[in-house]
Chain A
Amino acid sequence: MQNRPTGFGNPWLQLALSVACVLVSEFLLKRGATEVADTGSAWSWTGLNGLASPLVWWAILLIIASFVSWLYVLRYIPITIAFPLSRVVDILVPLGCWIFLGELISPLRWCGIALVVIGLALVAKPIAQIEERL
């Protein structure tokens, strides 16, 4: 991790940006897909009719942006740390659905969210030491 850039080039900031792009793209895809849903047509199984929604195109742009910042993250951070941390999106999506869409979270799902948070804390804790060592 030597010569690690700071400011906008900071890989931890890029990791956060990558996760934020994926998170927003998931909601845009859901909104976009619902907007143009045509479940009567066999073609709709391919998902290609989703391209009729501008929201889906915004989501695609965000997915590309998240891929580019993910590649940048991989350049500087070990994947054993970066990949588990990137899965924070798996709890941010249900939490976002709960907060913004009013969807319910079952007790079992809360347990899952708690386990992911503990796991993330375990992975993230040694980052300070790693930063010092490398």
Chain B
Amino acid sequence: MSFLAFFFIVVSLVSFVAAQLVLKRAMEATRTSGLRNAQFISKVTGGIILMTISFFLTLGLLQRFDLSYLYPFQGLSVIFITLLAAVALKEKLNMRLAIGALLISVGIVLVSLS
């Protein structure tokens, strides 16, 4: 794998994870002030742009690599989103959730490797 391929895999993963966190923030904003507020609209737009970037980078990568090679990186998103939600969104994270997320990640990697 070239440096460029690694770079795009990382950017695609980071933009996917960031999109989920931004969308979560956007939807939290709707609970206090409904759907017609600047906070929600700007964050949902940001989240959709990030997801679009991730989608097209993945399409480009799929043209060069097998799905089974790329999918384990997607599996890692579970563990990244869980950890970052605890740090950035201050969500409660206990040992049980962390181990559960880790097992799901490892399981997805195994499913796609075999």
A113 to B92, CA, bound (A): 27
Chain B nearest CB, measured from A91 CB (Å): 7
Known: A90-B75, A120-B100. A75 touches B82 (CB 8 A): no
User: What residues of chain B lie closer than 8 Å to A123, measured between beta carbons?
Assistant: 96-97, 100-101, 104
Task: Tell me how many residues of B have a C-beta within 8 Å of chain A.
Answer: 42
In the complex, which residue of chain A has the Cβ closest to the Cβ of B71? A90
What is the interface of chain B mostly: helix, strand, loop, or mixed? helix
Residue on B nearest A133 in the bound complex, by CB? B92
Instruction: Kindly identify, within residues 96 to 125 of chain A, every residue whose CB is under 8 Å from any CB belonging to chain B.
Output: 106-109, 111-123, 125
- B103:A79 contact, CB within 8 angstroms: no
A80 neighbours in B (Cβ, 8 Å): 81-82, 85-86, 91-93, 97, 101
Inter-chain CB contacts under 8 Å: number: 122
Instruction: Specify the chain B residue showing the minimal Cβ separation from A82.
Output: B24
CA distance A72 to B24 in the complex (A): 10
Verify A109–B110 contact, CB threshold 8 A. yes
A45 within 8 A of B: yes
Closest 6 CB pairs of A and B: A112-B110, A119-B103, A122-B100, A115-B107, A116-B107, A108-B114
Q: With A45-B63, A118-B103 given, is the CB distance from A81 to B111 under 8 Å?
A: no
Interface flag for B102 (CB, 8 Å): yes
